Amino acid sequence: MKISKNDTLVLKGIGILIIILHNYFHFLEPKIGENEFSYNTIHLTNFISNILSDPLNSIQYIFTYFGHYGVQFFILCSGYGLAIRYRNSDLKFKEFITKRILKIYPVFTVAIIILLVYQYVIFKFPFTNETIKDIIYRYTLIANWIPSKVFVLCGPYWFYSMIFQLYLCFPLFLAVKKRTNYGLWIIMIVVYIVILFTNNYFAAKQLSLYYNFFGNIPVFILGMILANDQFYYHKWFLFVSIGVFIGGQFTNYLWYFSQISFVLVLVPVFIRLYNKFSKSIPSKFFMFTGEISMYLFALNGFMRVPWTNLSNEAPYKIFSYIYFLIYISLVFLSAIVLRRIEQYVMVKLIKQKSDNIS
């Protein structure tokens, strides 16, 4: 299974749309919950009962319950892209980490500034000493390690800490990959064993392994494995993965494999559909969305205000979907502007650095 650069853009485009839908709809009433960082059968019961009793509102329930899986596309593409990039070249740790920081922090920094203006100036959120602490926790990427602080400031920003931790692990994974063909598989198996026996304990302490790098290593490593020239996607992978994913919704033990089975089922499907309809308008839209996915992700979380509140207060459910369309349109426009701002700032910094050197 080969994944081209265009394929990754489409996967990221689909992934971020799923994430945006999830981040919006899981805030709406009734809040049915989702099995994202740990498994609770009550969430499945809520999902099924609401689908059966209120089928006209299925879109809200489906994206609330399943939408968090969109994150897995980004984790897979990160592992795959880095493995391709350093497949035939040496990795210098300092240079590698510097590039990763420059990839994350410019957008992250501007987004947090916009967030502060949006929440505390425009919408008058209370700004306290605790808010200052939360900003520090979030910006230094340590919030994920502190119980009750994982989702401070802006919930989806937990991803920044987690993905940067995976970047720190990548040099080790790459060294193992180059040394032995089966090393990454061994790491994946060991990680799954640890997750199976310890995640419930850490989740009870409000520190699920999935908040940080450890729970997301399998999908990241799968991306690296897919970058191997000799990886073949056999048809039985599809059927087994479908079975595991469905079973993972009903039992705790299979749920731990639902993330990796999700990508094994849908990545080949989306790639094949894109390759067949690459000239179509939807394909071009998904690719464009993938190009600005980093900016969409940075903005969509805090821009839910006031739209989710208006949706919950609306007299008819149809208004929640109207508000969502307004919200997502504003998020797209803001993401395009944010990309322009970042590009302008980066060009100025590069020019200034060049002038200083000369």
Quick one: the chain helix, strand, coil %, rounded to 5? 80, 0, 20
How much is the average pLDDT of 88-100? 93
pLDDT tens digits for range 198-232: 999 999 999 999 999 999 999 999 999 999 866 67
How far is residue 263's CA from residue 221's CA, in Å, rounded to a whole number?
12
pLDDT, tens digit (0-9, with 9 covering 90-100), for 272-320: 999 999 999 999 999 999 999 999 999 999 999 999 999 999 999 999 9
- CA quadruple 210, 211, 212, 216: dihedral positive or negative? positive
Q: pTM for this structure?
A: 0.95
Residue pLDDT, tens place only, 256-267: 999 999 999 999
Q: Which two tokens stand for residue 283?
A: 């394909």
- The pLDDT of residue 88: 86
Distance CA 130, CA 276 (A): 52
Place of tokens 């916009």: 114
Q: Give residue 343's pLDDT.
A: 84
Pair 210, 36: CB distance under 8 Å: yes
The domain segmentation of the chain, as residue ranges, is 5-357
End-to-end Cα distance, the chain: 47
pLDDT for the residue 358: 58
pLDDT of 92 above 80: yes
Query: Distance between CA 293 and CA 284 in Å, rounded?
Result: 14
CA distances from 13 to 174, 212, 246, 333 (A): 27, 23, 24, 15
**183-204 vs 213-226: helix crossing angle, rounded to 10:** 160
